[in-house]
Amino acid sequence: MTFDPVRRTQDLPADLAMALFRVGQALTLMVRGAAGADGLSPAQANALLFLKWGRPGARNVTGVAQRLGTTLATASEVVDTLAAKGLVEKTRSAADGRVVTLALTPAGSERADRLEGMLEPLRQILAGLDETEQRTLQQLLAKVVAGLVARGFVRPYLMCWQCRFFRPFAHPANPAGPHHCAFMDAPLPADHTYFECPEAEPVSDPSNP
């Protein structure tokens, strides 16, 4: 009964849910407007940003589907459209021809850079809060997101340094891969640790990764 305005006056969680729903509507408008200005759909814009910031090993159709929260078929259509626009290139693995990795073309990188500012109106509003308010909101929203993750509605998409599978400096003698991912059981190059990973799981204490 969240949409019942009378009920919300007596149900604080419902009132908060509606407030977040309205924030979500505003975010949808921001994304749609920024994407449309570049001749893209919101899904295409999100895919470009994922291919810019997603972990290299996850830059494939499956990764795009996970990021968009959609089917493989729909994600494949999004990728095909971006490829036709010259924004994404596909490369088949020499070892396994079934594996196709995705990468931004120079034009795709330029487009993704422009999309970086699509949430700027919200950032400016949040910047108007004092630091204590920002920290409090950050902590509360982290709990909300954790609840959504637990229910399967979203993925956390954390950097390695925020993930419980990350083992920093586990391979000091390996300059090409000094860190280790326990999820993949593989060394990690230093520059890969600053990308977002769909398999990441938050550490129990985010302040002490």
Per DSSP (E only), the strands in 5-107 are 88-92, 100-104
Query: Is residue 203 in some structural domain?
Result: no
Whether residues 153 and 56 share a domain: the answer is: no
Query: Tens of pLDDT along 56-78?
Result: 888 999 999 999 999 999 999 99
Length reported for the chain: 209
Query: Is residue 145 in some structural domain?
Result: yes
**Domain enclosing residue 95, as ranges:** 5-119
Residue with tokens 């830059």: 59
Query: Is residue 169 in some structural domain?
Result: yes
Of the three residues 119, 150, 166, the one that is the final residue of a domain is 119
| Domains in the chain, number | 2
Distances (CA, A) of 73 to 58, 68, 80, 140: 17, 12, 10, 35
Of the three residues 94, 119, 144, the one that is the final residue of a domain is 119
Whether residues 12 and 108 share a domain: the answer is: yes
Report helix, strand or coil for 86: coil
Q: CB neighbours (10 Å) of residue 4?
A: 12
Query: Tens of pLDDT along 143-176?
Result: 998 899 889 898 877 888 888 899 999 999 999 9
Among 87, 125, 111, which Cα is nearest to 37's? 111
